[in-house]
Amino acid sequence: MKTKYLRQLVIAAALTVGGASVAAADCPVKVGVALPTSVDWGKPIAETALWVADMINEAGGVDGCPVETILRDTQVDAKVGVDAAKAMVDLDKVQLMMGAVSSGVTLPILTSVTVPAGVMQISCCSSSTRITGLAEEGSTKGLWFRTFATSNVQSAVLTKLAKDAGYGKVTVFYKNDDWGQDMASLLDNALKASGIEVAASIAITDNQPSYRAEVTEALGGNPDAVILALYPKEGIAVTREWISLGGTTKMVGANSLRSEEFRDAVGMQYLGDFIGADTSSPRTASASAFVEAYKAKFGGEPSGPGLPNSFDAAAISLLAYHAAGNGATGAEIAAKVPMVTDPAGEPVDANVEGFKKAMALLSEGKSVSFQGGTGAVTFDANGDVSAPAVSWVFTETGIDERQYIPLEEVNAFIQSLN
Amino acid sequence: MIGIISYLAFFGTVASILAIAVLGLNLQWGNTGLFNGGVAAFFGAGAYGAMMLGGPADPLQFGAFELPYTIAFAGGIFLAALVAWAVGLLTLRLRHDYLAIATFGVAVALEAVARNAEWLTGGAKGMRGFPRPFEGLFEDQFTYNLAFLAFVVLILIAVYVGLERLVRSPYGRVLRAIREDEIAARSLGKNATRLRLEAFVLGSAIIGAAGVLYVSFYAFISPQDMAPILTFQIWAMLIVGGAGNNRGAVLGAFLIWGAWTSSGFLLAKFAPTAVQIYTGPIQYIMIGSVIVGMLLWRPQGLLPERIERTKTGNEAPGKTASQG
Amino acid sequence: MIQNLMDGILTGSIISLGAIGLTMVMHMLRFANFAYAELLAIGAYAALVFDRLFAALVPVMDQAFGGLSLTWSLTLATLAAMAITGLSAVLIDWAIFKRIRQKADALSMVFASFGVALIIRNVITLIFGLKAELYSNDIAFAMVLSRDPLLLIKPDQVFVLVAALVLMTIFHLVLSRTTFGFALRAVAENPALAQVAGVPLARIIIVVWMIGGAFSAAAGVFYALTNHLSPLIGHNFLLPVFAATIVGGIGSVYGALLGGFIVGIASGLALQVLPSGYSPAMPFLIILAVLLVRPQGLFGEAEQT
């Protein structure tokens, strides 16, 4: 192990001395993964990303070269995350960086590491509208992508579901972090614009001894329904408290609650009226491949926040890497992303067979339409994902998707709010 | 080769910024015996203060006056000092535990403000786009990073030299006298409470300066940057390096930050994938063990305090008996 | 308003249990122990393990008492967890704090406790993961005591309050009626003097750690029973427990009891005025207020510096 590493170092050093800016075309292809593995929801996200790399290797690797993922823990600490990213970019010469989760870490990595070095960065889970602003300024140089819908789309879909269900007055519980605060203010606007009264909008700060006071405050508003923009851990605590104090079981939840942990801990008997929102296209037989493959690998449904998004981020970026070829620069990889997510391309599944097929087609210079865990993803000019929406419900055996809302309808609804 | 230099320059910059904060803490704890449990609060106050004064205008929030860098720099330091002055005034009279707990509480409270007062601090999203100083002077990022490293190192040296002088001056001797035996110092007519407050404010201002440099370097600040773990990291650096010794403080900063980053690096390199998922907790356990082990087997740190003993007397044991 | 008051009392009872041991330890060993609150987490998780074990061995024990989510197995598991946590506290003191005490000063101990807290929290994370665990997945419904003003209370919370009060009463009787209690209080109030009077300090320290650990374990279980388990339980309770100790006056057992309730109630009522995002800062504001008005705490003796 050690000698192998040393040899790689020597080779890498030799290559960098030899040709200054030419990216080394050596095997294996190194890919940086900066995710918060020391955090509850971060671990499965990282496991999913590593699993995709294994599948790509099984399918033949990037441009015939096996992928070597370098997983670094960001500890949700900007200092640590940026250092890890910097080390991977400078020392391991990665041209592709996956991560991070929290926008407070993703943003400094983007501005002080990946963009200056011309490395492509793709995140599964950062939703901050600050990054869209950065991309609009042109500061991301087209190197940035994310497979997680922006808070803008998420809040619009939640509002639409609440409106369609006929709720006239709602209370919002939101996670008190960058994502949640973004969601809360966007939800507030969207709900009011569509004629729904917001009884209260209540911040749920992580790791509090008790959420009783917050829940009691919400009960006072006497809403028809609650909207939950929470992660499973505090979502469980708040929802259990809410129900035990006699709150309504009419709930609309963000995709972060799409988790068996949440369902089991709250209990099916209280989740009959729960409607969830997510971004996804209809699950044709081929697009369910992700779910099947995930079950086969991990022995359970992919039911944590960000798992399908992590899968897609890893798969799309690695397929683009393959299309760009071993030795490609970050900008070259980023330029190939549209080839992988071409709606007119040949649909390919999210499993080893699909990857084999996609890689063969991409090598021939043909574009494909990757059918990932969140459906057929496409990116706009800012690297933001645009995907149709779906509503889902909890069932005894898992999570069922109910109603698909086409992209046009989502966009029309967002327009109607302005 | 360029990659390695580029990374080392980056590492050196962050480590130097942290070293400045450790020097500030050393003045408080190493030289004056004040337990600051809220390093992150003063670091954050410096960073946020500079960002509010020097950051780009944003219609949605207060501040962002786009003032010149020197004013932003001074403003950040001033805010950190102001917070320290208020906290010190309330708690420095009391037994040392109170200061530890109260400063820990300040960090929690300031983090809550940074997270919730969106109009003031940008909320959990943080604030971005701090104009990096003298960026216009350099053509490419690489040279700029080297120049920035030189700038930070210069400030580190200035702080180091300044503190060394201070510690060796009569003033520094009084601070140590208060730490060792407050009653004796009082009996010599020294106003211990005021001197302790001064040392506390000065130390916090230095920590605030580190915060300013941090925001200058990353051009971004969010409540995550003032999590309690920062306090722990700075303390670990001081304890390992050697409390009371400024050279030890700097050494500790480079060693601990090096260990912190390289443990992640090594785990990523050599640990099997199945284990990599657990590297986060393992890393914390390792660092925690280093601290505890250090306190068990070499509590004076790698570079112990060098005291010019003018008289023999009770040293360390007397440190707390007088304060209890 | 009344609801917040009542909820505050319930949270307060848990904080009180945590603060009893801390105030004694802080006073006797003269350092702010940042690892103390981790005992709550050790207790809660130990009870989880025993609960699953007992329920698996004797399935009948997994029956909940009417209206409560408490089961026989959890009751026994709690007792076991109290013993285990007490022993862990003694063990940690013996392995780490005692050794540092002999070498360095009290403030090194403060920092050592930072390190110990970090180790404990991450060992728990490594074993159990960071996800929320529950003793029972069933939701125990609240009873409506009054509709206007709305007043709700959960049976579990009543049980927790009663159980906490029973524990406190027993402890009070021990303190006030037995020779051992006198010795304990003597040491807690003035360790040096007590030692001169012939109280075996080393042994008393072990007993105090046992008691503190046991009470913390109970607090951890009670908290997890009405909320959920997470490796961060200890971290979450750190500031509230410190606040209770300072409010009561370091060293005063009864002060800590009362302090816990004050912190709980004040935090509950604060939400009437402050947005909920600021609730983590509440214990700190209480500490500041106490330091301003009565620095020695409600029952503490004035410090002579």
Of A204, A237, A245, the CB nearest to C228: A237
pLDDT at A387 over 90: no
Confidence of residue C136 (pLDDT cuts 50, 70, 90): confident
Alpha helices (H) in chain B, listed in sequence order: 2-25, 39-54, 69-91, 96-116, 118-121, 141-168, 170-180, 182-187, 192-218, 228-241, 246-270, 273-276, 279-297, 318-321
**Residues of chain B contacting residue A107, judged by C-beta atoms under 8 Å apart:** 126, 128, 220
Instruction: State mean pLDDT over C2-11.
Output: 84
pLDDT digits (tens, 9 = 90+) for C239-283: 999 999 989 888 888 889 899 999 999 888 887 788 878 888 888
Instruction: State mean pLDDT over B251-279.
Output: 82
CB within 8 Å: B299 and C108: yes
**More confident site: A194 or C293:** A194
Nearest CA in chain B to A82: B218
Contact C258, C290 (CB under 8 A): no
Confidence of residue A282 (pLDDT cuts 50, 70, 90): low
Contact A36, A74 (CB under 8 A): yes
Q: Quote the mean pLDDT of chain C.
A: 85
**Interface check B125 vs A, CB under 8 A:** yes
Identify the pLDDT of residue B75. 94
CB within 8 Å: A77 and B229: yes
**More confident site: B164 or A22:** B164
Identify the pLDDT of residue C199. 76
CATH level 3 topology of A2-12+23-148+287-386: Rossmann fold (3.40.50)
Instruction: State mean pLDDT over A78-105.
Output: 90
Q: Quote the mean pLDDT of chain B.
A: 85
Name, of A6-15, C208-217, C270-279, the range with top average pLDDT: C208-217
| Distances in whole angstroms, Cα of residue C167 to Cα of each of A196, A361, C209 | 49, 71, 16
pLDDT digits (tens, 9 = 90+) for A344-382: 899 888 888 899 999 999 999 999 988 888 777 889 889
**Residues of chain A contacting residue B3, judged by C-beta atoms under 8 Å apart:** 16, 89-91, 93
Neighbours of chain A (3+ CB pairs under 8 A): B, C
Phi-psi region of A207 (alpha: psi -120 to 50; beta: other; left: phi over 0): left
Q: Name A126's Cβ contacts closer than 8 Å, sequence gap at least 6.
A: A100, A101, A102, A103, A106, A107, A146, A148
User: In this structure, what DSSP letter does residue A23 have?
Assistant: P
Instruction: State mean pLDDT over C18-39.
Output: 87
Identify the pLDDT of residue A318. 95
Of C150, C227, C235, the CB nearest to A219: C150
**Residues of chain B contacting residue A201, judged by C-beta atoms under 8 Å apart:** none
Calculate how close chain A gets to C241, using CA atoms only, in Å. 11
CB within 8 Å: A84 and B269: no
Mutate to test the interface with C, among B29, B97, B276 (most CBs of C within 10 A): B97
pLDDT digits (tens, 9 = 90+) for C157-166: 888 889 989 9
Helix (H, G, I), strand (E, B) or coil at A220: helix
Residues forming a β-bridge with A31: A69
CB within 8 Å: B281 and C31: no
**Residues of chain C contacting residue B324, judged by C-beta atoms under 8 Å apart:** 30, 106
**Residues of chain B contacting residue A70, judged by C-beta atoms under 8 Å apart:** 268-269
Parse chain C into domains and list their residue ranges: 2-293
Identify the pLDDT of residue B140. 81
Query: Residue C226 is inside which H or E element, if any?
Result: helix C201-226
Identify the pLDDT of residue A366. 92
**Interface check C100 vs B, CB under 8 A:** yes
Calculate how close chain A gets to B244, using CA atoms only, in Å. 26
Of B98, B116, B288, the CB nearest to C291: B98
Confidence of residue A25 (pLDDT cuts 50, 70, 90): low
Mutate to test the interface with B, among A178, A189, A204 (most CBs of B within 10 A): A178
Neighbours of chain C (3+ CB pairs under 8 A): A, B
pLDDT at C61 over 50: yes
Contact A216, A245 (CB under 8 A): yes
**Residues of chain C contacting residue B111, judged by C-beta atoms under 8 Å apart:** 280
Confidence of residue B151 (pLDDT cuts 50, 70, 90): very high
CB within 8 Å: B225 and A50: no
pLDDT at C178 over 80: yes
Q: Interface pTM (ipTM) of the complex?
A: 0.83
**Residues of chain B contacting residue C131, judged by C-beta atoms under 8 Å apart:** none
Q: Quote the mean pLDDT of chain A.
A: 85
Residue A10: how many other CB atoms lie within 10 Å: 10
pLDDT digits (tens, 9 = 90+) for B40-53: 999 999 999 999 89
The amino acid sitting at A81 is G
Contact A226, A170 (CB under 8 A): yes
First and final C-alpha spacing in chain A: 58
Identify the pLDDT of residue A287. 53
Identify the pLDDT of residue B319. 41
Residue B169: how many other CB atoms lie within 10 Å: 11
pLDDT at B189 over 60: yes
**Residues of chain B contacting residue C32, judged by C-beta atoms under 8 Å apart:** 37, 97, 100-101
Question: Which of A6-20, A236-250, B12-26, C209-223 is predicted least confidently?
Answer: A6-20
CA angle B86, B105, A207 (to 5 degrees): 150
**More confident site: A128 or C214:** C214
pLDDT at B247 over 80: yes
Calculate how close chain B gets to A37, using CA atoms only, in Å. 6
Contact C78, C221 (CB under 8 A): yes
pLDDT at B214 over 50: yes
> C130 φ, ψ to 5°?
-90, 0
Parse chain A into domains and list their residue ranges: 2-12+23-148+287-386, 151-272+388-417
CB within 8 Å: B229 and A180: no
Q: Name C12's Cβ contacts closer than 8 Å, sequence gap at least 6.
A: C260, C261, C262, C263, C264, C265
What span, in angstroms and rounded, lies between the C-alpha atoms of C123 and A192?
47
Chain-centre distance of CA C62, in angstroms?
26
Helix (H, G, I), strand (E, B) or coil at A41: coil
pLDDT at B314 over 70: no
pLDDT at B250 over 90: yes
pLDDT at B80 over 80: yes
Of B230, B261, B280, the CB nearest to A37: B280
Parse chain B into domains and list their residue ranges: 2-226
Of A46, A47, A108, the CB nearest to B220: A108
Contact B87, B108 (CB under 8 A): no
Nearest CA in chain C to A263: C137
Phi-psi region of A317 (alpha: psi -120 to 50; beta: other; left: phi over 0): alpha
Reference A325, options A157, A146, A95; nearest CA is A95
CB within 8 Å: C236 and A208: yes
Mutate to test the interface with A, among C9, C38, C125, C131 (most CBs of A within 10 A): C131
Instruction: State mean pLDDT over A45-53.
Output: 91
Where in A258-412 does DSSP place strands (E)?
274-279, 346-348, 368-372, 375-376, 378-379, 385-386, 389-394, 399-405
Positive or negative, the CA dihedral A356, A362, A368, A374 is positive
**Residues of chain B contacting residue C305, judged by C-beta atoms under 8 Å apart:** 93-95, 182, 322-323
Identify the pLDDT of residue A298. 83
Identify the pLDDT of residue A23. 45
Tell me whether domains A2-12+23-148+287-386 and A151-272+388-417 share a fold.
Answer: yes
Confidence of residue B322 (pLDDT cuts 50, 70, 90): very low
Instruction: State mean pLDDT over A7-11.
Output: 49
Of B109, B299, B323, the CB nearest to C305: B323
Instruction: State mean pLDDT over A79-84.
Output: 90
Reference B152, options B166, B165, B134; nearest CA is B134
pLDDT at A128 over 90: no
What span, in angstroms and rounded, lies between the C-alpha atoms of B145 and A109?
15
pLDDT digits (tens, 9 = 90+) for C184-193: 777 767 777 7
pLDDT digits (tens, 9 = 90+) for B167-187: 889 888 888 888 887 777 777
The amino acid sitting at A389 is A
What span, in angstroms and rounded, lies between the C-alpha atoms of C51 and B72?
57
DSSP per-residue string spanning C136-194: --SPPPPEEEETTTTEEE-HHHHHHHHHHHHHHHHHHHHHHHSHHHHHHHHHHH-HHHH
Tell me the pairing of strands A378-379 and A368-372: unpaired
Those residues of chain A whose CB sits closer than 8 Å to some CB in chain C are 38-40, 43, 176, 202-205, 207-214, 216-217, 219-220, 232-233, 236-237, 240-241, 243-246, 261, 264-267, 270
Nearest CA in chain C to B109: C281
Identify the pLDDT of residue A418. 72
HSE at residue B249, side-chain half, CA atoms within 13 A, is 32
- Domain A151-272+388-417 class, CATH top level: alpha beta
Q: What percentage of chain C reaches a pLDDT higher than 70?
A: 97
CATH level 3 topology of C2-293: ABC transporter involved in vitamin B12 uptake, BtuC (1.10.3470)
pLDDT at A243 over 80: yes
Instruction: State mean pLDDT over B281-298.
Output: 85
Identify the pLDDT of residue A109. 93
Of C7, C139, C154, the CB nearest to A216: C7
**Residues of chain A contacting residue B126, judged by C-beta atoms under 8 Å apart:** 104, 107, 130, 178
Identify the pLDDT of residue C304. 40
Residues forming a β-bridge with A171: A200, A226
What span, in angstroms and rounded, lies between the C-alpha atoms of B176 and B307?
10
**Interface check C103 vs B, CB under 8 A:** yes
Q: Name A54's Cβ contacts closer than 8 Å, sequence gap at least 6.
A: none
Confidence of residue A17 (pLDDT cuts 50, 70, 90): very low
